[in-house]
Structure 1
């Protein structure tokens, strides 16, 4: 009989929406394995909004400020409020693993250990938790699925219906930003792709910054993350596709049930892909480090050692290849 836990604390303080989404299958697997458990999540805003509406999550905590030490303080506050029977964490900095291991009855604080270079990050989390006896075998290959409330579903449906009408071809959403310059696809490629999709009858919607003098399509309205998930779900119900780089909104689209085409350059699609159609620029780049991406020479400053004009791996993803992938999925 596997051990059951009454109070579970899951800590993800890496900062990105995508980081939380990759951990979501573990959250749901722990809930299934421990029915009736009080499952708490400590993470950052705005990603926290995605789990506040999740029926398996009893409590969501976030750091109270953005000054140094905020994450450690948030962990201490969560532990002081209630000592967990089980703590699970992706977060390795500022002594946070030591805090969890000292306070929790049981703690698993290194979900990054010994990763194979071709194993998706989220699957690595699940495999480690399964090896620790905390998840069932069926959970090892689970994909992220975000809970979308009724109001978010309705709002997303209203917005997408208003913007696309009854098109000749499925809608396509372009996610043009990536948070980091090193992950961005060249703007000229976006313009060419948008023009070709429009010519073929696909309504083109956009998420993220656009050039007002050279618009790519119709911007989706700025909304909170649960409502954005509802918009992506509405696109998915119309057999649409969301295309963009390795960034949180593309992961959210996949978790909401929409088909995605991921554009990967400095990050390895085998490790960080969404699992739909993931395209890898310069797959043989000698500077790419699949299990140590922050140590790549291009990572922080987006200074590509192969091309001073910008990330050569992203430019290598030509419009024709992306168009073929998008229209195959749409």
Structure 2
């Protein structure tokens, strides 16, 4: 019989919403494999909002402050509160892996180890946990699914219904902003895309900052992440599509059940794809490192070695290709 664990601590302190979403299938798989277990998640805000209402998760912890060392302190506190039977972590900096290995009865602290260049990150997590005997074979094909509670679902439905009415074509949501400049699609292309979608009868909604002098569409109401997930779910129920770069809100849309068209530049779509239509800009870029993206010369400052004007990979994605992908979806 496979070993069962009563207290499971899952640690994801990489910082991004997308990082947590890629780990969700592992969280849910561990909960299914260990019915009745107390499964705790330690992660950052605001992503923590997405698992607080998840029925698979008994407790959510976050670091208490944003100063250096906060993440290590949070791990120490979680371990002091209860010694886990099993600890699983994506996070290895600041001695966090060693803390977990010393305190937990069993620990799997490197879900990034030895990835093939084109294996999706989330699939790698699941494969390692399956090899460790912690997940079933069926779990290896699981996709991220965020729990949208009734309140968030109703709020999302009300917002989208108010904005789109009874359109002739499904709505399209444009996620125009992204946390890193190296992943940004040129603004003029967003404007061209929005104009063509509107001409074809699609209600165009937006998430993120919008230039008031060049509006792209109707902004979705600002909300917390669970309500945003509810809005994306409402768009998905209408057959709509969410378009954006490789960023957390687009991953959230996919995890909430909406169809996505994701624009990939510096990150490799084969590693970080979202399961919808993943468009790769400049597939043959000699500087892209699928398993070591932070070591790419463009990563931190968006200084592209191929084009001083901006990321050549994002510029390689033209409006016609995005429109065709939206139409196909």
TM-score category by the smaller chain?
Answer: over 0.9
Question: CA RMSD, aligned part only?
Answer: 0.3
- Rounded Cα–Cα distance in structure 1 between residues aligned with 2:202 and 2:79: 51
Partner in structure 2 of residue 105 of structure 1 = 105
1:212-291 equivalent positions in 2, closer than 5 A: 212-291=212-291
Deviations 1:214-255 (A, max 9, x none): 000000011000000000000000000000000000000000
Partner in structure 2 of residue 177 of structure 1 = 177
Deviations 1:165-221 (A, max 9, x none): 000100000000110000010001000000000000000000011100000000001
Partner in structure 2 of residue 167 of structure 1 = 167
Q: Report the alpha carbon displacement of residue 64 of structure 1 after superposing the two structures with TM.
A: 0.1
- Rounded Cα–Cα distance in structure 1 between residues aligned with 2:271 and 2:168: 36
Name the count of aligned residue pairs.
Answer: 329
- Rounded Cα–Cα distance in structure 1 between residues aligned with 2:82 and 2:112: 26
Q: Is residue 311 of structure 1 aligned with residue 319 of structure 2?
A: no
Partner in structure 1 of residue 70 of structure 2 = 70
What secondary structure does 1:193 align onto? helix
- Rounded Cα–Cα distance in structure 1 between residues aligned with 2:141 and 2:111: 15
- Rounded Cα–Cα distance in structure 2 between residues aligned with 1:263 and 1:279: 5
Partner in structure 2 of residue 27 of structure 1 = 27
Deviations 1:42-90 (A, max 9, x none): 0000000000010010000000000000000000000000000000000
Partner in structure 2 of residue 197 of structure 1 = 197
What secondary structure does 1:152 align onto? helix
What secondary structure does 1:320 align onto? helix
TM-score, structure 1 normalization: 0.99
- Rounded Cα–Cα distance in structure 2 between residues aligned with 1:19 and 1:110: 14
Partner in structure 1 of residue 294 of structure 2 = 294
Partner in structure 1 of residue 56 of structure 2 = 56
Partner in structure 2 of residue 118 of structure 1 = 118
- Rounded Cα–Cα distance in structure 2 between residues aligned with 1:70 and 1:140: 33
Q: Report the alpha carbon displacement of residue 269 of structure 1 after superposing the two structures with TM.
A: 0.2
- Rounded Cα–Cα distance in structure 2 between residues aligned with 1:99 and 1:314: 40
Structure 1 regions of 5+ residues with no counterpart? none
Q: Report the alpha carbon displacement of residue 292 of structure 1 after superposing the two structures with TM.
A: 0.2
